[in-house]
Amino acid sequence: MSYELSRRQVLGVFGAVGATFALASCAGPGSTGGAITATGPSAPLTGTPSGKVSFAHWRAEDKDVFDELGKRWAAEIADVSFTQDITTSNDYNAQGLQKIRGSNVGDAFASFRGAQFASMADAGIYTDLSATAAAAAFVPSLLTAGTLNKQTLGLPYQVVFPMPVSNLDAFDKANAESAPKDWDSFLGSCEALKTGGYVPMAWPGGDVGNAGQLFNCMVANNAPAEDACAQIEIGTLKVTDDWFIAMLKQYQELVPYMQDNAQGTAVEAVQNMFVQQQAAMLVTGSYHISAIRALGAKFPVDLIFPSTNASGKTANYEGVYNATFILGVNAASEVQPAAYSWIEFLSRPENAAYYADNTAQHVAVAGVEYSDPDLVKLSPWLDKRTMLAARFQFENLDVRNAVEATAIAVVGGASPEEAAESAQLIVDQNLR
């Protein structure tokens, strides 16, 4: 028997197979996740919770706490089990949407406020939690970050204060005002700290994400509108406007009070400066308090707001906060009742308190009694007139990075006008 195949026949077979795959590759990109219906997202399915719930998030440091809560939840409800799918925050920010929309992971999931929440909502991943018991357990004013078109799609679980953390011992020793009411008194505090031998402000200019937290404080009382960052993104405000340049000039005034070469300093370094009491303020946010305690800081801490208002003028805001780690139920989940049950479980005050105390983060659930000393100390900030962190109004990451980079450039020695013009070019090219 002859098995002769000519080269032409072989090439023909390979060509046909190749053409099939090529055609398959040319199938249009499309959606496999939840889709937005004409009426918008619908409420999560009700019924008896059962099945294995995958909880997707980025906070590896909270794994043990969620594991414990997951055990408690599974002990309470028969036929459910719990697993965590944790991705690093960088990767979660970049790929979270793609991972979750396939619904292989993330029956319940968390999202960042801002760009990620917006695109996840746009992708139709969320169910509508508006009329649920879980949403009712939250402080209503703190639900804004998870609300879109009057529907509560996500429940912002954490409340963080992206404001400088102050070493109260250092302020006492330097006789510096720990609660300045305006810009001049804030600079006065910095001067007193500097005279007292401290680096007043340890700012991680080498870390874009953490460096941007100060931007929230600087914008709060400088911006002409509450949604100024959103307006910059759509082009109705510009970073070359006077208010923005004035804000950058205030950044310039802070340079003598920051560590040398602040624009290149990593976040780990500023944490160490703060813990070793070389620096009196850690210019990141309350979310770093657990880290500095872990590094051995024993001194009492509080938050300090660099209010940019002129003396004699009342500030619009006394601080800034962010409501993040937005919990949602995946619209494409096959175990939706169980996924909702998990979110509802987290929303109970006793469970939220357990989470808060063990992660040193405030939560947006109403009626939570904190026992962690730092959380207790910082709790008054929950009742102050604070602004929802402005930087997360940006939905385009390139725009956000460009705008925030102006501050880093100015601290590095660039002129405010030049830095603003460079950033405006990038904002302009992203206007659609």
Partner 1 sequence: MTKTLNDDGAPAERTLLAPSKKSRPPKKKAGRKSPMRVHPALWLFPMPAVILLVIFMAMPTLQAFHYAITDWNGYSATFNYVGVDNFVRAFTGDILFMNAVTNNVKYMLVVVIVQTIVSLVLSLMLVRNTRGGIVLRALFFFPTILSSVSVAFIWRFIYDPNFGLLNSFLGAIGLEQFQGAYLGDPAQAIYWVALVQIWAHSGQMMVVFVAGLQAIPAELYEAAELDGANRRQRFTTITWPLLAPATAIVVAYTTIQSFKAFDLILGIAGNPPKSSVDIISTRIYTTFANTDFGYAAAQSVIFMLLIVLITVLQRRVLRLTQKQE
* CB contact set of 342 (below 8 Å; sequence gap of 6+): 53, 55, 70, 73, 80, 82, 107, 108
Pairing of β 301-303 and β 165-167? antiparallel
**Separation CA 312–CA 403 (nearest Å):** 29
**Separation CA 258–CA 294 (nearest Å):** 24
Residue with tokens 């500023």: 270
Phi/psi class of residue 284: alpha, beta or left (left: φ > 0; alpha: ψ in -120 to 50)? alpha
167 binds partner 1 (CB under 8 A): no
38 binds partner 1 (CB under 8 A): no
**Separation CA 359–CA 368 (nearest Å):** 14
* DSSP letter string, 351-386: HHHHHHHHHT-EESBTTPPP-SHHHHHHGGGGGS-E
123 binds partner 1 (CB under 8 A): yes
**Separation CA 285–CA 349 (nearest Å):** 24
6 binds partner 1 (CB under 8 A): yes
Q: CB of 190 within 8 A of CB of 202?
A: no
- Letters for 248-287 (x = contact with partner 1 by CB under 8 A, - = none) are -----------xxxxxxxx-xx--xx--------------
Q: Which is nearer to partner 1, 389 or 423 (CB)?
A: 423
19 binds partner 1 (CB under 8 A): no
**Separation CA 153–CA 125 (nearest Å):** 9
φ/ψ (deg, to 5) at 313: -100, 135
306 binds partner 1 (CB under 8 A): no
Q: Which is nearer to partner 1, 7 or 150 (CB)?
A: 7
Rounded to a whole number of angstroms, the minimum distance from the CB of residue 193 to partner 1 is 17
Interface region with partner 1, contact rule CB under 8 A, candidates 72-80, 93-101, 177-185, 220-228? 93-101
**Separation CA 289–CA 357 (nearest Å):** 12
**Separation CA 248–CA 255 (nearest Å):** 11
Rounded to a whole number of angstroms, the minimum distance from the CB of residue 142 to partner 1 is 26
Q: CB of 404 within 8 A of CB of 176?
A: no
22 binds partner 1 (CB under 8 A): yes
- Among 40, 397, 415, 421, which residue interacts with partner 1 (rule: CB under 8 A)? 397
Rounded to a whole number of angstroms, the minimum distance from the CB of residue 347 to partner 1 is 27
60 binds partner 1 (CB under 8 A): no
Pairing of β 80-86 and β 51-57? parallel
- Letters for 100-119 (x = contact with partner 1 by CB under 8 A, - = none) are -x-------------x---x
- Among 37, 95, 144, 311, which residue interacts with partner 1 (rule: CB under 8 A)? 95
User: Diameter of the chain by CA atoms?
Assistant: 102
Beta bridge partners of 86: 57
37 binds partner 1 (CB under 8 A): no
Rounded to a whole number of angstroms, the minimum distance from the CB of residue 205 to partner 1 is 6
Q: Which is nearer to partner 1, 86 or 426 (CB)?
A: 426
Q: Which is nearer to partner 1, 10 or 310 (CB)?
A: 10
Interface region with partner 1, contact rule CB under 8 A, candidates 173-181, 230-238, 374-382, 401-409? 401-409
Q: Contact residues for partner 1 (CB under 8 A)?
A: 3-8, 10, 18, 21-22, 24-26, 28-31, 33, 35, 90, 93-95, 97-98, 101, 115, 119, 122-123, 205-209, 259-266, 268-269, 272-273, 396-398, 401-402, 405, 408-409, 412, 425-426, 429
